[in-house]
Structure 1
Amino acid sequence: MEKIFCALPCTERQKVTFATFTFKDDAQEWWLLTLEKEDIVTWARFIEVFYEKYFLDSLREQKASEFIHLRQGTITMAEYESKFTQLARFATYVIPTEARKARKFEARLDPEIKNMLEVLKLPTYAAVVDRAYIAEKGIKALRFGEPSQRKRFWERDNRMPGVAPPKRINTSTTSSTGPSNQSLANPKGGITPACSTCGRTHWGPCRQDTGTCFRCGQVGHWLRNCPTLVRPFEPVRKPAVPEGARKD
């Protein structure tokens, strides 16, 4: 019935009306007696009353226990969300607010996805679910996608802050000693940009612009005169003896 409601959006009262229209015999009599006591106009309230009547306490407790211990594990996000939604109605006391529901869903996610979402502190259940799907898609792209797909994912609009992009691996067979204006992999993570001033690859301001030594970063000298450079051994020259002086 709920699948039909997803395909054909209805109001809360219409959902209750359509569901109870299918009742027959004892179920129909029970529903008429229920309406005499309470005017049920929301789907959530209808589900609660219906389960109290047709689900044994032992079965409801079993479903509530399944919800409390539910984890994503190795199943997909779609499967986890479906189970979470189905079982949540049996343990509404565990998630009385929207924020508690969001934290409960987040806490039982796959650890890799959970770590990406925890830093965001998303306030609503819908936001957590949406971002979890995005995280799962990104992880699959990084694991199994082509290099171009992985690059496009990490160049998006900061969807998962705090997560460093993958290192770029140079598979070229050309020599790495020659000059190149291409970006190189930064050992701390990320891609080191090529400088438009000196043509080298580095982070931060260009030392050619700041007038500092390329080796030690100090001002007042250039690389060729850097005091940190090891000089080759130079032989000590003896002072010249003036002409006519005594030679011992």
Structure 2
Amino acid sequence: MLGQQQNQATIIRDLLRAVQDLSWQQAQGGPHGTNANNTSSIVEQFRRYKLPTFDGKADLLAAEEWIRRMERIFKHLSCNNAQKVLFAEFMLVDAAGHWWESASRTRTEAQQHALTWTQFNEEVMGKYFPQALRDRKETEFLQLKQGKMKLEDYERKFEQLSRYAPHLVDTEVKKARRFELGLRPEIGGIIASHQFTTYSHVLQTTQAISNRLKMDQITQQGAELSGKRKWNGSNEGKGEERNKKVNFESSFGQVIPPYPKCNKMHSGECLFGKHVCYRCGKTGHISKNFKEDPLKKNDEQEKKVKARVFALAQERTTEDPNTGNFKDEIILRG
């Protein structure tokens, strides 16, 4: 950290001397004191910014980002074209600094003094941000689609890539239209029905539509979750009824422990693993596909009816205490 501060201090000291020399050369007999004070003021203002040095070792987009940062600083400084070039030269360090010194030797002193900021920009970009990469970024912008990206991420990507194709977004209408083309269909279909003339207007409307779709999705998910809870609640109720039935039946007799093979409570032989129907004991089908023989079913129903009639007859017949004979209770009461 200390070494970095010393390096920056050295850059500012050398830059101040270089800018002062440039000012004296440009003054040519003018009021030297005024130029010196103005130069010191410019360097002091520049020092207040975080020094955007460039070493040429980072990724290919770093050069373009460094140029943009320098231009933002120049907007706040009252410096001329020659001072811009001088400031930028001092911000080239390490490999980038060596490259610029080598390139400067190929120019005459007059050419070096006449070098404009635009020419400097073109040389740096040509070296560290070649045209092939710029063309690739322009193609990426043309193919940009929102897809699964959040609207905020799509907007950020759109702004980053649009500077590589300025001719496609050089008016508000063209920029708004290009932004619409990349939106998801459910949003872009609504936006396309309006004729927006500014990029900010289409961005605000898109945000409102996106928020509305999110709210609708949350509402739908809540309704689906509520429906699942009701369905699970009804199943839970049925489960409780089954448990109550088991407890009720077991309370009237001995509790049947789970059978070790199938871990279920039942009486009689356990048919688990014998590949037979648990209801009839036969092979070829399982219990849920069991179909009872209609004749056998009717015979069993008839037996049940006879048994029920016999039970009722036993309940209605009592012994006469006087004669010892059994008589129908209903007839006696009649």
TM bucket normalised to smaller:
0.3 to 0.5
Q: Which has the higher helix share?
A: 2
Higher Rg: 2
